[in-house]
Structure 1
Amino acid sequence: MNPVQLPDHKIFELVADTATALKMPAYVIGGFVRDLILKRPSKDIDVVCVGDGMKLAEAVAQALPGKPKVTVFKNFGTAMLRAGDLEVEFVGARKESYQRHSRKPEVEAGTLEDDLKRRDFTINALGISLNKADFGQLVDMFGGMQDIKRKTIRTPLEPGITFSDDPLRMMRAVRFATQLHFDIEPDTFDAIIAHKHRIEIVSKERIADELNKIILADTPSYGFKLLFQSGLLQLIFPKMAALQGIDTVNGNTHKDNFYHTLQVLDNVAKVSKDLWLRWAAIMHDIAKPDTKRYHPKVGWTFHGHEDKGARMVPRLFQELKLPLNEHMKFVQKLVRLHLRPIALVKETVTDSAVRRLLFEAGEDIDALMQLCKADITSKDHNRVKRYLQNFAKVEEKLRQVEESDKLRNFQPVITGEIIMETFGLKPSREVGILKEAITEAILEGEIRNEYEEAFAFLVEKGKKMGFTITEN
């Protein structure tokens, strides 16, 4: 087998010299090797030695300029150091055995073959020798190179053992297939189906991490189709799986909202790498199964699915162990507003309706418009073209109103403090009523968001409510 050309970085020869001096055969293993062969960028290097990985790491650090600090992870038996822009992790070759109720293996020292066979997939079980005798030689005990050429995800051991030992590997199989545009080998996929319930012993945080990596792939729909077909999606995200299916009554059918959602997700992925905008695409129709109704005169309806969906977002984020912070609020806002721009395509739409959308969407108006355009998924290309042309008009109208009224994230110039000082009020419901009235007047275009106009409006409104201006 021909040697592999390692990147021109002194760390490799330095490890080779140090490992030789310590009489510890050493190899670059795993994802770095895979990505090197696939010509993908990678800054993380895993070095396995037949011996004490921490001892090798310390010796390499001493030989590097500046003697970088070695970070030791005793629980994992690994040590890490930085060499320029590379992060190098060292570990001794080991073999693992698992208990059925846990992903945490019992580990003991092993051979290079022991270490490679415990890897999740053959494409990650490749090594490159850092030994003087065969420096750069590829180590491929399980056909990983052949699987890279075939674009195949396959396990080194019998797949049932691999997935039962560590069920997170089922998610990783889907993730790698999605990221690399590979297929999962049939026996391997059958084993995922057979062992899918083992995913229940994996923490939701680890599942969410893999799910996010699938979502950030170029074509995330591929990963979700694999998750659904394997039965994993029904276990880790049942509300999304529930979108799948079509009902027919009196010959009337609705579209399959699962596959529609995946198309929206892919459409968003073409224009944005924002993880949370992609989550908004996933969640935008999440309440359709709960709001689906059939009416003989109008057919299938999903009235209020945007409001119900927005109310569901915090609970779903909590269940999926996603952050309950501004990212969740962003997704919630887009789910709630995703039908609003389509209502603005009518020629008769008022400036006040545009102002309200700008006011409610704030800085997220551009993301909202990306989601809304992605939501056009008809097989009728003329219909899609017509809708996109209408959205172009909406965006122009939004631009015009924004330019004249500066309503993106606007705050009324009249604050609650000014209202209380003007009328000598304490914090109360009346202060809120006056503040809301000013906001409404600005949104309706009755007054501009300028102090003199807004203050005059406040005084007039206050008088009608029986308040008088206090003397300073």
Structure 2
Amino acid sequence: MDIKCNEKELFVFKKIAHAAEELGVPAYVIGGFVRDKLLGRTTKDADIVCVGDGIQLAHKVAERFQPRPSVSFFKTYGTAQIKLKHFYDEVQGEVDHKHITGVENGEQETVPATTIITGGDSDQLNSPPTAGEQGGAALEIEFVGARKESYRYHSRNPDVVPGSLKDDQDRRDFTINAMAISLNTEDYGRLIDPFNGLHDLEKKIIQTPLDPGTTFSDDPLRMMRAIRFAAQLNFTIAPATFQGIKDHAERIRIISQERITEELNKILLSPKPSIGFDLLYQSGLLHIIFPQMVDLAGAEYIDGLGHKDNFYHTLQVVDNICRHTSDLWLRWAALLHDIGKPPTKKFEKGHGWTFHGHEVVGGRMVPKLFARLKLPQNEKLRFVRKLVELHLRPISLTKENITDSAIRRLLFDAGDDIDALMLLCEADITSKNKQKVIRYLENFELVRHRLKEVEEKDRIRNWQPPVTGEIIMDIFGLSPCKIVGDLKNSIREAILDGEIDNSYDAAYDFMMKKAAALGLQPVNKI
């Protein structure tokens, strides 16, 4: 298994190697960059650990680029970062000039035969990067001095002292993240893998380099990271490591909600989020960080009548939606679409289990959940709430004759989010009965056709009644009051029901009749 860096990355690593040699500090590429390159995954950042001053090394490396990139550094943590903006453009001139000939500042660049780093295609230097090529518009490089850590029980913030490369690898969370590659002259490119992470990478296993209890007790966020990597990479967590998560699940309480939610978002953005949420549930972590999701789990039976397990149904809906979109907030809507079912669950004798109004209750739960999880309190919340509240509407339209009025109301209520809503509703079909699925999908196609047809005719999406509240107040000399709202609503309902045309004249005439019935007389004519 080789690490296949492209030539521009090799060019940057050579600069780092020479800067480290000039300072007399051993330097290594470590962690996620090594892991992802071995897996053939794209990555836009690299971590460099040196046995010395990481901030000093970062400044020395920055000096070797023209123009010189800025160095962001944090003395408290001994870390520094260089962001090579528009990375491919910046290094292209130097790369084209030197052609990676092995000469920089008069130094001969030699790569020993033991290296596992290999370059890209020979024509890569002269061709522009494609949209999906590694690195994108920028390469972020973080520098830190090798360190040794010790933890206090009630904090995940360690006491840090300078250490060796071994110390630094010992403190890593998982074996697949503890691999390092030397950037030093005597063994440039050599893989340093004290915990056999390469084997675990090949076998698709996640396990801690040291005792799981120590690893997770020291930094409980690592439990969620293990599950997140399992979801992102479709890896298996080693039994001893997973038992360690179960044994120390309560320790997650010392982690800030922001960090927990960051991991939840990453799990939701993985190719198959159900892997992560199932592991969170099986480990006991979900019971602590998201108990409302746990309430969905299980099927209850009375008189031989049961309901489906809404937890695993939800996970299937999330996986379904992920096949069609990478949008995080649509994925959140899928995750929360049935969150109102537990509080609305009721057994009706002779009928079975019902969840009447769960979409309304679920919609009301969304703001509280977003606040507790420290998710955005803005249009993202409103989007998720809207989809939770509306997710049954298109389904109901497949069970009846679709009237123009029903279509208008759905278009009006959903607005620009109608396409996202339809995706969610289609993802909500999880029946094992293939004929039933086919029938539902055919019905949804009919709804889509009618939506398009009515929208083209009435232009009702994001529509507001042609007679506004301001116009009503001007005509009748009113201040804001209930009568103004009632008149405006009656106009809107009449248009949505197809009782009058969607035009100013029709709305004005309708308003005047309604006003007369209320004893209102116009004082102005508009």
TM-score (norm 1): 0.98
Aligned: 1:67 with 2:76: no
Whole-Å separation in 2 of the counterparts to 1:323 and 1:317: 7
Whole-Å separation in 1 of the counterparts to 2:381 and 2:341: 20
Q: Which amino acid aligns with 1:330?
A: F
Aligned to 1:321: 374
Whole-Å separation in 2 of the counterparts to 1:5 and 1:242: 46
Whole-Å separation in 2 of the counterparts to 1:347 and 1:292: 25
* TM superposition shift of 1:256: 0.6
1:217 corresponds to which of 262, 270, 273: 270
Aligned to 2:90: none
Identity across matched positions, percent: 58
1:4–1:136 CA contact under 8 A, matched in 2: no
Aligned: 1:363 with 2:364: no
Whole-Å separation in 1 of the counterparts to 2:321 and 2:501: 36
* Structure 2 residue matching 1:438: 3-state secondary structure: helix
Give deviations 1:278-320, integer Å, cap 9, x for gaps. 1111111112111111112211111111111111111111111
The alpha-carbon distance between structure 1 residues 13 and 454, as it changes in their structure 2 partners (threshold 3 A), is same
1:4–1:138 CA contact under 8 A, matched in 2: no
Aligned to 1:6: 5
1:4–1:128 CA contact under 8 A, matched in 2: no
* Structure 2 residue matching 1:63: 3-state secondary structure: coil
Aligned to 2:36: 35
* TM superposition shift of 1:347: 4.8
Q: Which amino acid aligns with 1:20?
A: E
2:218 corresponds to which of 151, 161, 165: 165
* TM superposition shift of 1:247: 0.8
Q: Which amino acid aligns with 1:55?
A: Q
Whole-Å separation in 1 of the counterparts to 2:522 and 2:3: 83
Give deviations 1:425-450, integer Å, cap 9, x for gaps. 12111111111111111101122222
* TM superposition shift of 1:471: 3.9
* TM superposition shift of 1:412: 1.1
Stretch of structure 1 that moved more, 159-168 or 446-455? 446-455
Q: Which amino acid aligns with 1:64?
A: F
Give deviations 1:206-227, integer Å, cap 9, x for gaps. 0000001001111110111111
2:427 corresponds to which of 368, 371, 374: 374
Aligned to 1:345: 398
2:4–2:38 CA contact under 8 A, matched in 1: no
Aligned to 2:485: 432
* TM superposition shift of 1:6: 3.5
1:126–1:138 CA contact under 8 A, matched in 2: yes
The alpha-carbon distance between structure 1 residues 471 and 304, as it changes in their structure 2 partners (threshold 3 A), is closer
1:401 corresponds to which of 446, 454, 457: 454
2:53–2:78 CA contact under 8 A, matched in 1: no
* TM superposition shift of 1:42: 0.8
Q: How many residues align?
A: 471
* TM superposition shift of 1:136: 1.2
2:183 corresponds to which of 130, 141, 146: 130
* TM superposition shift of 1:33: 0.7
Give deviations 1:373-424, integer Å, cap 9, x for gaps. 1111111111111111111111111111111111111011111111111112
Aligned: 1:50 with 2:47: no
Aligned to 1:268: 321
1:434–1:462 CA contact under 8 A, matched in 2: yes
Which structure has the higher relative contact order (CA within 8 Å, separation 6+)? 2
Stretch of structure 1 that moved more, 122-131 or 420-429? 420-429
Aligned to 1:464: 517
Aligned to 2:115: none
TM-score (norm 2): 0.88
Aligned to 1:278: 331
Aligned to 1:455: 508
Aligned: 1:236 with 2:237: no
Q: Which amino acid aligns with 2:49?
A: V
Whole-Å separation in 1 of the counterparts to 2:69 and 2:365: 48
The alpha-carbon distance between structure 1 residues 352 and 5, as it changes in their structure 2 partners (threshold 3 A), is closer
Aligned to 1:292: 345
* TM superposition shift of 1:5: 4.5
Whole-Å separation in 2 of the counterparts to 1:271 and 1:6: 31
2:340–2:361 CA contact under 8 A, matched in 1: yes
Whole-Å separation in 2 of the counterparts to 1:352 and 1:35: 53
* Structure 2 residue matching 1:46: 3-state secondary structure: strand
* Structure 2 residue matching 1:99: 3-state secondary structure: coil
Stretch of structure 1 that moved more, 187-196 or 56-65? 56-65
Whole-Å separation in 2 of the counterparts to 1:262 and 1:63: 50
User: Which consecutive residues of structure 2, in runs of 5 or more, have no partner in the other structure?
Assistant: 88-137
* TM superposition shift of 1:4: 4.2
1:26–1:130 CA contact under 8 A, matched in 2: yes
Whole-Å separation in 1 of the counterparts to 2:3 and 2:418: 49
Whole-Å separation in 1 of the counterparts to 2:327 and 2:140: 26
